[in-house]
Structure 1
Amino acid sequence: MDDFLTCRIPGTELRLGMSRRLFAACQQLHQEDRRIAERTPGLRAEDQRVADEPADEETEEQRRRTQRRIFREELEYERRRIESQVRDAYERATTGQWRDLLPGHPEPALDVDDHPGLLEAATPDTYLAMRADDLPHHRR
């Protein structure tokens, strides 16, 4: 647990954490997603503009289907390479350091020791914590 990156999710009392390995895999996946997005601008769901009422709904729907198909094809084409890159990032982080993943940032510190009374759950790569009094049955 002393090698986890943890943080409270803003607007909640939930604390979430991940191991260096899981962080490295997520970071690599994010980079791969950005690379595909750069080659296929505007095709990811989060890049789609939302029109209140398209001029021609059928044409707009056809355009969206075509864009999704192109993005899926690009993703499928890259899938094996991406899986390999993500797996390699995960394994490299086993022996790496946080400073390798977060250049220019201080080594993260696990900050759960300052918060007594947390209900905690952990796996080798994930951490979750919340206060017992934040559970719904304590609010009655």
Structure 2
Amino acid sequence: MGLDDFLACRIPGTEVHLGMSRKLFAACERLREEDLAIAQRTPGLRAEDQPADDQELSEDAQEEQRLTQRRIFRERQEEARPRLRPLLRHAYDRGATSDWSDLLRRRQEPELDLESDGGLLEAVTPETYLAVSRYGLPPARA
């Protein structure tokens, strides 16, 4: 496992750096594509596709509408699950033998930020990377 095995980035507005392997990235990308395909077949049902509150409906009616839409979308996801498992496994396996340039849509290698000041607390598994700035942590209690 080397630096080029992970795509890692600081989450904006936080002191957290998160990364993933090529295999995990490929599987997540495929899952995102499938989620978007479900959303296109069921427009307006994902939480992020919901319009602002409808002023003509009561709060209870709006909440009921949101819950119904989310339930329908989750049902579509569950229906797709048996078909998705082999697709995600294939994407995961493909990620192991692919270069980042093959996996990224912009078709360029990710830039590595090696300018760390050594102030990161890091954890790595074969598929994930997590780092938190030690300077962003709250002070220890006495």
Q: How high is the TM-score relative to the length of structure 2?
A: 0.82
2:130 maps to amino acid: L
Question: 1:5 & 1:116 partners in 2: Cα distance?
Answer: 19
2-structure distance, mates of 1:106, 1:57: 47
Residue 80 of structure 1: how far off its partner (Å)? 1.0
Q: Which residue of 1 aligns with 2:133?
A: 131
**5+ residue gaps in structure 2?**
none
How far the C-alpha of 1:58 sits from its partner, in A, is 5.7
Equivalent residue for 1:68? 70
1:84 correspondence with 2:86:
yes
Q: Is the 8 A contact 1:4 1:110 kept in 2?
A: no
- Counterpart position of 1:116: 117
Q: Structure 1 residue 57: deviation in Å?
A: 5.2
Higher relative contact order (CA closer than 8 Å, sequence separation 6+): 1
Choose the corresponding residue for 2:102, options 97, 100, 104. 100
* Deviations 1:93-131 (CA, angstroms, capped at 9, x unpaired): 1111111111443212442x3213221110001111123
Whole-angstrom distance in 2 between the partners of 1:131 and 1:60: 41
Q: Counterparts of 1:20 and 1:61 in 2: how far apart (Å)?
A: 39
Letter in 2 for 1:70: I
Cα distance in 2, alignment partners of residues 73 and 33 from structure 1:
12
> 2:21 & 2:32 partners in 1: Cα distance?
16
Amino acid at match of 1:75: Q
Residue 53 of structure 1, CA deviation: 4.4
CA distance in 2, matches of 1:57, 1:128: 39
Letter in 2 for 1:116: D
Quote the Cα distance in structure 1 between the aligned partners of 2:117 and 2:132.
10
SS of the aligned residue for 2:121 comes to: strand
- C-alpha offsets along residues 2-39 of structure 1, whole Å, 9 cap, x if unaligned? 21111111112221111111111110110000000000
Instruction: Indicate if the aligned counterparts of 1:120 and 1:130 stay in contact, CA closer than 8 A.
Output: yes
1:17 alignment counterpart: 19
Are the equivalent residues in 2 in contact too, given 1:54–1:60 (CA < 8 A)? no
Q: Which string of whole-angstrom CA distances, capped at 9 and with x for unpartnered residues, describes residues 43-95 of structure 1? A: 11221223164435565455444433322222121111112211210111111
- How many corresponding residue pairs? 137
TM value normalised by structure 1: 0.83
Across the aligned residues of Structure 1 and Structure 2, the Cα RMSD in angstroms comes to 2.2
